[in-house]
Structure 1
Amino acid sequence: MIAAYYKSTGDVDVLEVGELPTPEPRGGEVRVRIALSGINPTDWKGRARGELSFPFQIPHHDAAGVIDAVGAGVDPGRVGERVWLWDAAYLRQWGTAAQFSVVPEAQAVALPADVSFDLAVCLGIPAKTAHRAVFADGPVSGQTILVAGGAGAVGFYAIQLARLGGARVVTTVSSDDKAAIARTARADSILNYRQDDVPARVAELTAGAGVDRVIEVAFAANLDLNRQVLAANGTIATYAVDEEMPAIPVRWLLPDNITLRWLLVFAVPEEAKREAVAELSRALADGALKPLPLLRFPLEEVRAAHRAGEQGAVGKVVLEIP
């Protein structure tokens, strides 16, 4: 098969494209013919400074494709099933930047017939992270949630899932183009943090009550903002690192009983992963989720695709697999 892979970590130049053996599914696994491979920050960060556990690593965790073979113990009727993949490269060699990937069968999730691969490839890490960030502490119906970075992959799905959960959603973006993406996700209020006085606007939108929950992509940078907009007994759910050792303002957090929830999608309890996958599947069946705009690259341009992601491309960077 043709695949992108690397044998050492570093900048995009470590990525190669060439022939590798086609993997065979073992017991409990399925093999998927990949159509689209999704790229997330964890993919280029792992390539840049991760540790190699195998002679080579095929990157990328997320994908959309069709099951073409199954291992022992898997229903043969799954062959031909359209699926979306998650965590394909987590502690595994066969990521999705290839014509074929092999995963445990639960990590290849059936797609409704009317759901496109363009939507399916956007799920995986971003949508599962968003689900945990929104619902880890229980139902959100009636709450007001601030989603930082509503045009980012996680933020985009956090908006949609919070709305589906009955919350009112305020989101922040940095440009008109990103505001249009957040509007597609059906955010109730969209604030441009480069132009708007976000604390004042949030106070206005909530009649001074503040928000119940913040879904945060830049914890350290936005601490002071969140201090101004978060209601007592609120929660900051943060899923990204923008500063290695941020100062934690305990004198604010403690009196207001603020909860900090740290979130790494790979470390989420298995039960929570299953719950996220089940709820995402229901939302797909109901036609309730939208895709991000896709920035497409052919497999042989994997270096350019990683570079685009690292440079902050707007939308979802994907590889088209021949």
Structure 2
Amino acid sequence: MRAIAYSETGPSSVLQLVDRDIPQPGPGEVRVRIVVSGVNPTDWKARAGARAGRPAPFPEVVPNQDGAGVVDAVGDGVTGVAVGDRVWMFLAAHGRPTGTAQEFTVVPESRVVKLPDAAGFELGASLGVPAMTAHRALTVHEVGPTRLGPGALEGRTVLVAGGAGAVGHAAIQLARWAGAQVITTISSPEKAALATAAGAHHVVNYRADDAARAIRAVAPDGVDQVVEVSPARNAALNAKVIANHGSVSVYATDGGAEMTLDVRHHFSLNARYQFLLLYTVGDAALAAAADDVTRAVDDGALPVGEEAGLPLTRFPLERTAEAHDAVEAGTVGKVLIDVGSEAADITG
């Protein structure tokens, strides 16, 4: 089978197209024939490492955490999926040497989720890190909810920072599906159009508008929850718009790794900052996110594509390095790698 692999960290040029044997699933494992692989910032950052030229965490690594495909084989004890099931995957390469940038991958059953019949593989490969991160960000408020579904966020106002990004896009869609009023900040008219297409009720251009005043005009009592991509850059804005008992969910450090907070002001508001990392959030939170995200997909609440606010940029497997470069360069939307076809019969 064809696979993309690297043996040392560094620029995208360390990624090589190789031929490898098809792996066999062990007990509790599932083999999936990959149709589409999704690329996230975490994928190129893991490949780049802290310094170029250092050994990879395994003798050979196949990158990419997310993907979608068809179950090809199952190991002993697997009961949740069967051969022929269409599935999406998350954290495929976490703690393991091989991810989804290959024709077949083996993952624990817990990281494989049935893909609703109406959903395409491009949607399945776009879930994983973005949608599950967004789910966690929306379920850590002091008074819940801990699960999402229609009506779960009814009566709440959610502010999504960077609504044109992949996590921001999913957060808008999930919050809207759960009944929240959704405000998002963006940096250009083009990104405003994408955030609106995703379902945001109100869009604020933080470069052109008085963002705090515009947000307060929509939410006079403040916003209940903030999904935050750039805590250092947005700390002052969040302080101006957060409601009493409001929460700020931080899932990235865009714009800097350190922030300054007015402690007295946040005391007075009983405000909460919740930091989250999908890799260490715990199995219960991952399982809850997978269930709720799949339900949202089944309800048609998480579409992708430019008309849904998330443009797709696609590459073939042999151009995985270009796909990583595109994500690193900040390509708007979602970057996908087309690995195989749904009906493919690969036996090499």
Counterparts of 2:260 and 2:245, CA distance in 1: 20
1:241 Cα deviation after fit: 1.5
Residue 198 of structure 2 is matched in structure 1 by 185
| Secondary structure at the counterpart of residue 221 of structure 1 | helix
1:133 Cα deviation after fit: 0.1
Measured at CA, do residues 76 and 225 of structure 1 come closer, stay the same or move farther in structure 2, by a change above 3 Å? closer
Unaligned 5+ segments in structure 2 are 146-152, 305-309, 341-348
Counterparts of 2:297 and 2:18, CA distance in 1: 35
| Secondary structure at the counterpart of residue 183 of structure 1 | helix
The count of residues paired between Structure 1 and Structure 2 equals 321
Residue 290 of structure 1 is matched in structure 2 by 303
1:238 equivalenced with 2:250 (yes/no): yes
Measured at CA, do residues 225 and 77 of structure 1 come closer, stay the same or move farther in structure 2, by a change above 3 Å? closer
Residue 15 of structure 2 is matched in structure 1 by 15
1:23 Cα deviation after fit: 1.3
1:111 equivalenced with 2:111 (yes/no): no
Residue 269 of structure 1 is matched in structure 2 by 282
Measured at CA, do residues 251 and 15 of structure 1 come closer, stay the same or move farther in structure 2, by a change above 3 Å? same
Counterparts of 2:133 and 2:226, CA distance in 1: 14
Counterparts of 2:190 and 2:124, CA distance in 1: 23
1:157 equivalenced with 2:170 (yes/no): yes
| Secondary structure at the counterpart of residue 141 of structure 1 | coil
Residue 327 of structure 2 is matched in structure 1 by 309
1:74 equivalenced with 2:78 (yes/no): yes
Determine if contact 1:184/1:290 at 8 Å carries over to the other structure.
no
TM-score of the aligned structures, taking structure 1 as reference length: 0.96
1:77 Cα deviation after fit: 6.7
TM-score of the aligned structures, taking structure 2 as reference length: 0.89
Residue 41 of structure 1 is matched in structure 2 by 41
Counterparts of 1:311 and 1:144, CA distance in 2: 32
Determine if contact 2:251/2:275 at 8 Å carries over to the other structure.
yes
Letter in structure 1 aligned against 2:277: L
1:279 equivalenced with 2:292 (yes/no): yes
1:251 Cα deviation after fit: 2.7
Determine if contact 1:70/1:76 at 8 Å carries over to the other structure.
no
Measured at CA, do residues 76 and 278 of structure 1 come closer, stay the same or move farther in structure 2, by a change above 3 Å? closer
Letter in structure 1 aligned against 2:49: R
1:76 Cα deviation after fit: 9.7
Q: Deviations over 1:23-58 (max 9, x none)?
A: 111101110110110000110111111673210110
Which residue, out of 247, 259, 263, partners 1:250? 263
Determine if contact 2:204/2:215 at 8 Å carries over to the other structure.
no
Tell me which moved more, 67-76 or 14-23.
67-76
Counterparts of 1:251 and 1:321, CA distance in 2: 53
| Secondary structure at the counterpart of residue 220 of structure 1 | helix
Tell me which moved more, 71-80 or 295-304.
71-80
Determine if contact 2:36/2:339 at 8 Å carries over to the other structure.
yes
Determine if contact 2:80/2:109 at 8 Å carries over to the other structure.
no
Residue 239 of structure 2 is matched in structure 1 by 227
Which residue, out of 60, 63, 76, partners 2:67? 63
Q: Equivalences for 1:167-182 in 2 at 5 Å?
A: 167-182=180-195
1:87 equivalenced with 2:91 (yes/no): yes
Q: Deviations over 1:61-108 (max 9, x none)?
A: 100100111111124971011000100000011100111111111211
Determine if contact 2:232/2:257 at 8 Å carries over to the other structure.
no
| Secondary structure at the counterpart of residue 55 of structure 1 | coil
Residue 213 of structure 1 is matched in structure 2 by 225
Residue 57 of structure 2 is matched in structure 1 by 53
1:255 Cα deviation after fit: 2.3
